[in-house]
Amino acid sequence: MSQLKIYNTLARDKQVFVPIEPGKVRMYVCGITVYDYCHIGHARMTAVFDIVYRWLLASGYDVKYVRNITDIEDKIIRRAVENGETIAALTNRFIQYMHEDFAALGMLPPSAEPRATSYVPQMLSIIDKLEQNDLAYKGEDGDVNYAVRNFPGYGKLSGKSLEDLRAGERVDVNTGKRDPLDFVLWKASKESEPSEAKWESKWGSGRPGWHIECSAMSCALLGEHFDIHGGGADLQFPHHENEIAQSEGAFGPTMVNYWIHNGFVRLDNEKMSKSLGNFFTIREVLKKYDAEVLRFFIVRAHYRSPLNYSDVHLEDAKGALTRLYTALADVDVGADKPQVDWNEAHAVRFREAMNDDFNTPLAVAELFDLATEVNKNKSVADARQLKALAGVLGLLERAPQQFLRAGVGEEGSADEARIVQAIAARAAAKKARNFAEADRIRAELLASGIVLEDKPDGTTNWRRA
Buried b (16+ CB within 10 A) or exposed e, 201-236: bebeebbbbbbbbbbbbbbbbbeebbbbbbbbeebb
270 marked as binding residue: no
Give me the domain span that covers residue 449: 405-464
Q: According to the annotation, is 261 in a ligand binding site? A: no
Per-residue pLDDT of the chain (465 residues; tens, 9 = 90+): 689 999 999 999 999 999 999 999 999 999 999 999 999 999 999 999 999 999 999 999 999 999 999 999 999 999 999 999 999 999 999 999 999 999 999 999 999 999 999 999 999 999 999 999 999 999 999 999 999 999 999 999 999 888 877 544 444 555 689 999 999 999 999 998 999 999 999 999 999 999 999 999 999 999 999 999 999 999 999 999 999 999 999 999 899 999 999 999 998 777 777 667 777 999 999 999 999 999 999 999 999 999 999 999 999 999 999 999 999 998 999 989 999 999 999 999 999 999 999 999 999 999 999 999 999 999 999 999 999 999 999 999 999 988 988 763 444 444 666 776 766 667 666 667 776 776 786 777 777 667 776 666 666 576 666
Alpha carbon 168 to its chain centroid, in Å, reads 30
- Domain with 219 in it: what CATH number? 3.40.50.620
Judge if 116 and 236 occupy the same domain. yes
Q: What pLDDT is recorded for position 429?
A: 65
373 and 393 both lie in a single domain: yes
Question: Is there a single domain that holds both residue 292 and residue 177?
Answer: no
Q: Is 38 annotated to bind ligand?
A: no
Last residue of a domain, one of 388, 403, 418: 403
**Are residues 31 and 145 located together in one domain of the fold?**
yes
What sign does the dihedral 83-87-89-94 (CA atoms) show?
A: positive
The count of other CB atoms within 10 Å of the CB of residue 53 is 25
Helices 241-251, 210-222: crossing angle, 10 deg rounding: 50
CB neighbour class for 134 (10 Å; exposed up to 12, middle 13-18, buried from 19): exposed
CA atoms within a 13 Å half-sphere pointing along the CA-CB vector of 46: 27
Are 286 and 421 members of one domain? no
Tell whether 229 and 181 lie within a shared domain.
yes
219 is in an annotated binding site: no
243 is in an annotated binding site: yes
Same domain? 223 vs 286? no
| Domain total in the chain | 3
Nearest in space to 430 (alpha carbons), one of 420, 419, 441: 441
Q: Are residues 417 and 399 in the same domain?
A: no
Per-residue pLDDT at 310: 92
Q: How high is the pLDDT of residue 407?
A: 62
Q: Is the same domain home to 384 and 427?
A: no
Q: Are residues 226 and 369 in the same domain?
A: no
Per-residue pLDDT, 237: 95
pLDDT at 269: 73
